[in-house]
Amino acid sequence: MPLPLPTLSPPAARIVAWISGAALVWLVLAVQLFVNVDPLTVHRTDAVIMLGGAASERLPVAQQMQRDYNIPVLVLSHTDTPGNVAADTACNSAAFPSIQLLCFQPDEYDTRGEARAIGKIARANGWKSITVVTSSYHLSRAERLMEQCTTADVQMVNSHPQLSAGQWLRRFVIETGGLLDVSLRPECADQTDQSVSDAVGEEPNYR
């Protein structure tokens, strides 16, 4: 004869129901923030910038943007890391100086370091608008950081990663934490009043 399943007390059942409901709401919001992020409209800007990492997925999108919208400059984050091989190869094989390609190395190999570098490069070049390309799961956090570090108009365009359900869930957790972090600890707060000449004096290593 099978043993009866244990039943939860009313307070415990309410806690379980609340946790389940909260998890479901978070999951729905995460899908909207990190998956369904395709821009409704796209326009020409002064430069298109690919953030480092997942370059085999992001670089073709950035190059397509440059061709389709006749954007003058393609900017690549050059990190010499395994996930960035496609962009690093493009930088290492290019002839510099180039009017169509610029490669930079951020002082820190994370999105905060890239945002600081991009803010300085945009000011140094007098760019009024930029297109930033990154993976869909990374777009919300990257957009927040770019807007914190530059006064240029920021247009975000996403590439589409091919991830398993487990990988997506991991990204949901990472990027939720990342969004909270950039909201509580804004980047570039001490750079908002810098002039272009200040930016040139502190520009990152780029070609």
Residue range 111-119: average pLDDT?
A: 97
- pLDDT higher than 80, residue 160: yes
The confidence band for 4, taking pLDDT boundaries of 50, 70 and 90, is low
C-alpha dihedral (107, 30, 174, 38), degrees to nearest 10: -30
Q: Which residue has the higher pLDDT, 21 or 206?
A: 21
How much is the mean pLDDT over the chain? 86
Q: Is residue 168 part of a domain?
A: yes
Q: What is the pLDDT of residue 207?
A: 54
The confidence band for 192, taking pLDDT boundaries of 50, 70 and 90, is very low
Query: Is 116:187 a contact under the CB 8 Å cutoff?
Result: yes
Residues of the domain holding 145:
41-185+195-206
Query: Is 143:132 a contact under the CB 8 Å cutoff?
Result: yes
**Structural domain count of the chain:** 1
The confidence band for 32, taking pLDDT boundaries of 50, 70 and 90, is confident
C-alpha dihedral (178, 181, 187, 189), degrees to nearest 10: 160
Which helix or strand (DSSP H or E) is residue 191 part of? none
Q: Is residue 4 part of a domain?
A: no
Q: Is residue 10 part of a domain?
A: no
Query: Is 122:206 a contact under the CB 8 Å cutoff?
Result: no
Which helix or strand (DSSP H or E) is residue 199 part of? helix 196-201
- pLDDT higher than 90, residue 1: no
Instruction: Give the CATH number for residue 88.
Output: 3.40.50
Ranges 18-32, 35-49, 107-121, 143-157: which has the least confidence: 18-32
Q: Is residue 9 part of a domain?
A: no
Which residues, other chains included, contact 12 with Cβ-Cβ below 8 Å and sequence gap of 6+? none
Residue range 94-121: average pLDDT?
A: 94
Q: What is the pLDDT of residue 12?
A: 65
- pLDDT higher than 50, residue 121: yes
Ranges 10-14, 87-91, 168-172: which has the least confidence: 10-14
Residue range 23-45: average pLDDT?
A: 84
Partner residues linked to 131 by β-bridges: 48, 155
Q: Is residue 56 part of a domain?
A: yes
Q: What is the pLDDT of residue 205?
A: 53
Q: What is the pLDDT of residue 196?
A: 33
Q: Is residue 34 part of a domain?
A: no
Q: Is residue 201 part of a domain?
A: yes
Q: Is residue 35 part of a domain?
A: no
9: exposed, middle or buried (Cβ count in 10 Å: 0-12, 13-18, 19+): exposed
pTM above threshold 0.85: no
